[in-house]
Amino acid sequence: MRFNREDENYVYGFVGKNIKKYRKIKGLTQDKLAELVNYSPSFIANIESSSTHQTFSLGALWRISSALGVSLEELCYDPNKFGANPQKSKEYVCNYCGNTLDLPMEIIDVFNFIYTVSNNKALYPTFTCPKCGKKLIPKNVIDKM
């Protein structure tokens, strides 16, 4: 179901797409996400669907963002809004040496796209610490655990 940008229901369309994108990036099924947030699988399916209209509360959105390890801002990002860019970079941290690194979102988005399109867990975007060579982890995921 498509909504005109002037329609207040427009927001449900792009938020649903973002939820679906981040759910797939995290490697979760709709059923698993529903279990994590204590909602029905059909509720999650309807949120993500482009052919139905499912309203949801800010509390539901917060629970979903926490389960996906992303900010509310990332879920509410409207890619069709000219000039909208919620983040220019994302901070990653090395659990081994404590080094932090800001990676440009353009790089992260390319890796996420490859992973999402391939649906191959071996291609999940990972980054290596330039200081010690260990794996970097997104800082916002660590903060929410």
In the prediction, which pLDDT does 142 show? 39
How many CA within 13 A on the CB side of residue 50?
A: 6
Model pLDDT for residues 55-104, shown as the tens digit of each residue: 889 899 999 999 999 888 888 887 666 444 456 778 888 888 988 888 88
Contacts of 71 (CB under 8 A, 6+ apart): 65, 86, 140
Return the structure tokens found at 91. 């901070």
In the prediction, which pLDDT does 75 show? 87
3-state secondary structure of 64: helix
Domains (range + CATH), the chain: 10-75 (1.10.260.40), 89-143 (no CATH)
Q: Which residue has the higher pLDDT, 109 or 69?
A: 69
Model pLDDT for residues 114-129, shown as the tens digit of each residue: 777 676 767 666 788 8
Under a CB-based contact definition with an 8 Å cutoff, are residues 49 and 16 in contact?
yes
Which amino acid, one-letter code, is at 85? Answer: N
Query: What distance in Å separates the CA atoms of residue 101 and residue 74, rounded to the nearest whole number?
Result: 19
In the prediction, which pLDDT does 143 show? 35
Average pLDDT of the chain, as a whole number? 80
